[in-house]
Chain A
Amino acid sequence: MVKLTNYAMLLPGLISCLIFLIIPLAMIVSMSISTYATTSVPGSAAGALTFENYVKFFTSPQTPTILFNTFGMAFLTCFMVFIFAYPMAYILNFKIKSSIVKNYTLWFLTVPFLIDWTIRTVAWIPILGESGIINYILMSLRITSRPLTELLFTRYTLMIIWLQTYVLFMMFPITLALGRIDPDLIAAAKVLKAPPWRVFYDIIFKLSLPGVVCGFIFVFVSILGDFVTPGLWAGGLQTMGLSIAWYSGHFVWPYAAALSTILLAIALVVLYILLKVVDIKKLIYE
């Protein structure tokens, strides 16, 4: 007995999804499998079906490295962000009683996120740069004799910057999931003399999994789609995002489209497996 108005209310979301999500993606997929002259402006002539872009990608000697960089970094960063974010969410939910402290913590964490993306990342130069504060400390303690240039342009820099950016994204959904746990469950377990780690693992952690998965999706996908931070700081590290940006910047759109399709496909497979294991709809309805 669902009223018609409910369906009408779904229309704006549905239509905006179709126009601005499905059509662009369909165009990418179709462009990646048709024979356009690689450098001409696409749309001039409809091409025949071809898989040469995909063959080119999978036979390229760089491909394993690029895939490993992209997905290895994304998984590793996600895990690290999770390690840092989970205690924060836990503390905010169970350890801090005063709502003023909670709100101020959230404010303080949000402000850096509002600062422009590029400025926020170049703000690491005085810390990690050649004459930055870390090199200064290392040299005054005589641990190294010359400034380390490796601090600024490696995958570790990238991970630190991503940690700083995304810790909030991971924390937020976990906080939500923790907030939905019935306090009676925890109290009941305690009354029944469950050891603290079982209370934590069997009740708190397991019930917060939808939030963890949600946060994981936020962070994982943001990192996959980010070409800006690796471009600035990775010191030549090749990722899928960077390749896509490079090829589309040089108007080799069919190849960029093929790369995009592959990236999207792998992301979907990873998330499909994840959503099979944990039902994030629990966080939302039901």
Chain B
Amino acid sequence: MPMKLGEIVARLYLAFMIALVWLPIAFMIMLSFKTGGSVSFPIQGLTLDWYVAKPKGYEYISYISVLYDSAFWEALQNSALVSAAVGATTCLIVTATALALRHRVVGRDALFYLILLGFIVPGVSLGLGHVVMYKQLNLEFTFWSAVAVDVVFTVPFGLVLMMARFDPDLMLYEQAASVLKASPVNVFRRVTMPLVKWEILTAGVLGFVLSWSELVRTSFVMKGTGVLATYIFNQMQINPVTPKWYAAGTIIASVSFVGLILVGYIMSRTAK
């Protein structure tokens, strides 16, 4: 039957794309367990040294196991904090803006394009702009400078995705509620909120994810250890690629995997 064949081809294509995206990741995971400092085949022996070996005290950072690389954990922590802050801020701004933009407010298109400009500006231009701004105003980089530079481009992403997913009849329900004399607060709490809460959560997750893997913009405004992306990028500029970094990647991948499964599980459980 032709239907069946189409379905098989479709599934094979999806599997092929997943394999393509995962190909380097699979090699990364494999090679993170190998002995010896080069990241190539053949694998002569397997070891957990890149994860947990105690450093002897004279190695370069590329040869210290992930567990004992304190800067790595500090950067990971910074990343988690920055991303969480970006996720929360994105959530708030996107929700407020998206709900208001559905109405025919004056200058709706102008504001929409202004926000859209946030991801139209190439990352390198925006990063430079922030550096210049901080220097000209004599400000120091803080935790929040990384959050700010990320929020500028996560908000447009979130806004586009959120508004595209709003229930088309949402405004009708709201109007029905207010015609029936529900107070604005009640309309929001009882009608709007339950209908858009998944979109709100999605925007937050999206902000977190985008900020987590953001390097171009963040690299301009980070000082010290920085977030994970800038820390590893800086290390790669001066240090050789060893299985240690693959071990770090494997750890990040596992944490992300568990995190995503958890988010998905919670969403599917509460959505019912």
A residues touching B (Cβ–Cβ < 8 Å)? 2-3, 5-7, 9-10, 12-14, 16-17, 19-25, 27-28, 31, 41-43, 84, 87-88, 91-92, 95-96, 101, 103, 105, 107-120, 122-127, 129-133, 136, 163-164, 167-168, 172-173, 176-177, 180, 214, 217-218, 221-222, 224-228, 232, 240-241, 244-245, 248, 253, 256-257, 260-261, 263-264, 267-268, 271, 280-281, 283-285
Contacts of A284 on B, CB cut-off 8 Å? 112, 159-160, 163-164
Q: Please report the C-alpha to C-alpha distance between residue A91 and residue B10 in the assembled complex, in whole angstroms.
A: 6
Q: Judging by beta carbons under 8 Å apart, are B25 and A112 in contact?
A: yes
Q: Which of B14, B133, B151, B184 contacts A88 (CB 8 A)?
A: B14
Q: Which of A23, A163, A267 contacts B122 (CB 8 A)?
A: A267
Over the window 86-124 of chain B, the binary record of Cβ atoms lying under 8 Å from chain A Cβ atoms (1 yes, 0 no) is 000000111011011111111001011011011111111
Q: Judging by beta carbons under 8 Å apart, are B17 and A221 in contact?
A: no
The majority secondary structure among interface residues of chain B is helix
Q: Which 9 A-B pairs have the closest CB atoms?
A: A24-B129, A225-B122, A225-B123, A114-B256, A119-B249, A123-B24, A9-B100, A95-B10, A260-B125
Contacts of B142 on A, CB cut-off 8 Å? none
Q: Which residue of A lies closest to B26 (CB)?
A: A123
Q: Judging by beta carbons under 8 Å apart, are A9 and B17 in contact?
A: no
Q: Judging by beta carbons under 8 Å apart, are A109 and B21 in contact?
A: yes
Knowing A24-B126, A245-B124, the reply to whether A2 touches B104 (Cβ < 8 A) is yes
Contacts of B114 on A, CB cut-off 8 Å? 14, 17, 21-22
Q: Judging by beta carbons under 8 Å apart, are B260 and A107 in contact?
A: yes
Q: Which of B120, B133, B151, B249 contacts A268 (CB 8 A)?
A: B120
Q: Which of A109, A214, A221, A268 contacts B160 (CB 8 A)?
A: A214
- Tell me the minimal C-beta distance from B165 to chain A in angstroms: 7
Contacts of A263 on B, CB cut-off 8 Å? 122, 124-125
Q: Which of B14, B21, B132, B136 contacts A112 (CB 8 A)?
A: B21
Q: Which of B10, B93, B132 contacts A13 (CB 8 A)?
A: B93
Q: Judging by beta carbons under 8 Å apart, are A125 and B39 in contact?
A: yes
The majority secondary structure among interface residues of chain A is helix
Q: Judging by beta carbons under 8 Å apart, are A267 and B120 in contact?
A: yes
Q: Which of A20, A27, A280 contacts B132 (CB 8 A)?
A: A27
B residues touching A (Cβ–Cβ < 8 Å)? 6-7, 10-11, 13-14, 17-18, 20-25, 27-28, 31, 38-41, 92-94, 96-97, 99-106, 109, 111-112, 114-115, 117-126, 128-133, 135-136, 138, 148-149, 151-152, 155, 157, 159-161, 163-165, 184, 209, 212-213, 215-217, 219-220, 228-229, 232-233, 236, 241, 245-246, 248-249, 252-253, 256-257, 260-261, 264, 268
Q: Judging by beta carbons under 8 Å apart, are A167 and B21 in contact?
A: yes
- Tell me the minimal C-beta distance from B48 to chain A in angstroms: 18
- Tell me the minimal C-beta distance from B199 to chain A in angstroms: 12
Q: Judging by beta carbons under 8 Å apart, are B135 and A105 in contact?
A: no
Q: Please report the C-alpha to C-alpha distance between residue A2 and residue B112 in the assembled complex, in whole angstroms.
A: 17
Q: Please report the C-alpha to C-alpha distance between residue A126 and residue B25 in the assembled complex, in whole angstroms.
A: 10
Q: Please report the C-alpha to C-alpha distance between residue A7 and residue B103 in the assembled complex, in whole angstroms.
A: 10
- Tell me the minimal C-beta distance from B8 to chain A in angstroms: 10
